[in-house]
Structure formats: structure tokens, C-alpha cells
């Protein structure tokens, strides 16, 4: 099964992607995580991506599409994938559909995690992310067991540079202008399912898994 997690910054895509991927037994591919890994390693891709990410803007479509299609061509994605943070523009969605169609494949579900803007801003101001495995936490809603340390890998937790209030504002504007139109795109294809993201994390997970059927 090939699944897309859609939703604004802070909706809970990264929090939920692992659960959905584990349920399906397929990999979780998060474009934001891949970009951040490249930034951390100082690669050419990372240097380019950083310029856009630090402004809260999208990395150009051609770079992002090539990166995701290369990742999806690896053997572990042969039986399915959960895409988190991709596609984010109509051009990306069309490129993805085109590439899948050449293999008689398609996106089976686009799961939209619905969260109000007020809640997004609150969540992102309290978010901390593991420097190692990138698992997200929240100071109030989902704290780590040990202050500042990741439960999964023992890595150090940090605040993302693009979670500064001025960057969050830009990211929400970019989502509204460039990514929200994808809701209609997948609605027209009959693959969209909406889930209320303003519930406890476990309930959101349950609804997402139920929406796969
Ligand atoms: P990316 O990393 O994808 O960021 P995003 O889409 O802005 O999403 P976030 O990671 O901010 O939020 P999330 O929905 O994953 O929420 P989370 O689970 O962490 O992209 C970063 C940048 O990379 C982009 O701005 C762009 O520059 C670039 N990029 C990435 N993909 C691209 C693409 N396709 N094209 C071009 N550029 C691209 O949760 C947020 C917080 O809320 C956490 O603290 C969490 O603990 C908490 N939380 C989660 N669920 C709940 C709940 N139910 N109740 C209470 N708290 C909750």
C-alpha cells in the first residue's frame, strides 16, 4: 500500500508516520528528515536545502522530486511506502503519479490530519526533536522520559530552527498557498480520508489506521 500523510506543519505527520508504516510493514519516508540529515552531513543537497528550510520556504520541486523518486526506487519500497511531507505541491503530486503509473501503481490513500492554526502554533513552540533519530517530542503533550534525552536512541533533543515563531508563520502561509490545494487533488481521485488531529496521539493513530481500509 502506498500512503501519503498530508497536513500542515505541526499536524502530527512525523508523530504518526511510524505507527502507520509499522501497521503496513512498509518504510516511512520523510522528506524533511532526509533534508535535515543532508544539512547535518553538510552535503551539496543539504547546503541547497538549508537556504530554503531556514526561511520556511519549500525546496525547489525538481530537487525534491528527484530525491524522493530515487528513495522510492530502492527495494524496501517495492511493496509500499508511507510518505510524510511529500508531495507538497501539485507539480510534486503529478510527478509522483506519473512515476507510479509507469509501474502500474498508484497512491492508495492520502490521509489528511486536520488541526487548527492556533493548535499548530502551540504545538510547534513546544516541539523538541531528537538530533539523532529525529523523533518528535513535545514539552507538554509528549515529553521524553528523561529531560532533553530521546527515549528511542538516547540522542540529545533540540528545537528546530524553523520552529521559531516567525518561521512557523511563513510555513503555515506556504502550506495554505502551495500544499492545501492537494486536498482537492486527492479528493477528486477518491483517495482522501480526513482524520481529526486534535485528539490524543493514540486516538489519532487509531483513526489513521482505520482510514487505511
Ligand atoms: P517537514 O519536516 O516535513 O516539516 P512540516 O511539514 O512543516 O511538518 P513538521 O515536521 O513541522 O510537523 P509534523 O506534522 O510532522 O508534526 P510533528 O509530528 O512533529 O519539512 C521541513 C522543511 O523541509 C519544509 O519547510 C521545507 O523547507 C522542506 N521540505 C520538506 N518536504 C518538502 C517537499 N516535499 N517539498 C519542498 N520542501 C520540502 O508534531 C508537532 C508537535 O506536536 C510535536 O511536538 C508533537 O509531539 C506534537 N503532537 C503531535 N501530535 C499531537 C497530538 N495529537 N496532540 C498533542 N500534541 C501532538
C-alpha cell at 147: 529531560
**Cα 127 to averaged position of ligand 1 atoms, centre (Å):** 10
Q: Confirm whether 132 is domain-assigned.
A: no
90-136 residue pLDDT tens:
999 999 999 999 999 999 999 999 999 999 999 999 999 999 999 99
Domain containing residue 190: 2-115+179-210
Q: Is residue 129 part of a domain?
A: no
Predicted local confidence at residue 109, as pLDDT: 98
Q: Count of domains in the chain?
A: 1
Task: For residue 137, tell me if it sits in a domain.
Answer: no
DSSP string, the chain: -EEEEE--TTSSHHHHHHHHHHHHT--EEEHHHHHHHHHHHT-HHHHHHHHHHTTTPPPPHHHHHHHHHHHHTSGGGTT-EEEES---SHHHHHHHHHHHHTTT----EEEEEE--HHHHHHHHHTEEEETTT--EEETTTB--SBTTB-TTT-PBEE--GGGSHHHHHHHHHHIIIIITHHHHHHHHHT-EEEEE-SS-HHHHHHHHHHTT-
Is residue 162 a part of any domain in this protein?
A: no
Q: Would you call 193 a catalytic residue per the annotation?
A: no
Q: Is residue 111 part of a domain?
A: yes
The full length of the chain comes to: 213
The CB of 86 under 6 Å from ligand 1? The reply is yes
Tell whether 135 is covered by a domain.
Answer: no
Cell of 36: 535535515
pLDDT at 19: 97
Question: Is 16 part of a structural domain of the chain?
Answer: yes
Q: What is the mean pLDDT of each run of 10 residues along the chain (213 residues)?
A: 98 96 98 94 96 95 96 96 98 98 97 96 95 93 96 96 93 98 98 98 98 96
Q: Please report the pLDDT score of residue 137 as a whole number.
A: 96
- Ligand 1 centroid – CA 146 distance (Å): 23
Taking the centre of ligand 1 as the mean of its atom positions, its distance from the CA of residue 13, in whole angstroms, is 6
Q: Which of 109, 128, 135, 171 is catalytic?
A: 171
Assess whether the C-beta atom of 171 lies below 6 angstroms from ligand 1: yes
Our answer on whether the CB atom of 10 is closer than 6 Å to any ligand 1 atom is yes
Q: Is residue 190 part of a domain?
A: yes
Amino acid at each position: 500500500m502506498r500512503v501519503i500523510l498530508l497536513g500542515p506543519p505541526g499536524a502530527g505527520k512525523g508523530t504518526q508516520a511510524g505507527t502507520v508504516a509499522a501497521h503496513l510493514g512498509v518504510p516511512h519516508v520523510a522528506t524533511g528528515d532526509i533534508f535535515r540529515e543532508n544539512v547535518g552531513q553538510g552535503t551539496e543537497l543539504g547546503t541547497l536545502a538549508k537556504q530554503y528550510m531556514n526561511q520556511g520556504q519549500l525546496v525547489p520541486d525538481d530537487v525534491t522530486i528527484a530525491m524522493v523518486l530515487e528513495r522510492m526506487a530502492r527495494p524496501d519500497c517495492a511493496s509500499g511506502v508511507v510518505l510524510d511531507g511529500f508531495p507538497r505541491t501539485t507539480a510534486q503530486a503529478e510527478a509522483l503519479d506519473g512515476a507510479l503509473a509507469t509501474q502500474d501503481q498508484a497512491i492508495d490513500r492520502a490521509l489528511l490530519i486536520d488541526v487548527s492554526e492556533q493548535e499548530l502554533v502551540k504545538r510547534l513552540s513546544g516541539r523538541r526533536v531528537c538530533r539523532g533519530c529525529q523523533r518528535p517530542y513535545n514539552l507538554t503533550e509528549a515529553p521524553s522520559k528523561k529531560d532533553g534525552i530521546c527515549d528511542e536512541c538516547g540522542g540529545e533533543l533540540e528545537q528546530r530552527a524553523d520552529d521559531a515563531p516567525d518561521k512557523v508563520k511563513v510555513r503555515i502561509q506556504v502550506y495554505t498557498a502551495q500544499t492545501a490545494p492537494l486536498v482537492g487533488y486527492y479528493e477528486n481521485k477518491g483517495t482522501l480520508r480526513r482524520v481529526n488531529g486534535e485528539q490524543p496521539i493514540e486516538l489519532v493513530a487509531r483513526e489513521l489506521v482505520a482510514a487505511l481500509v
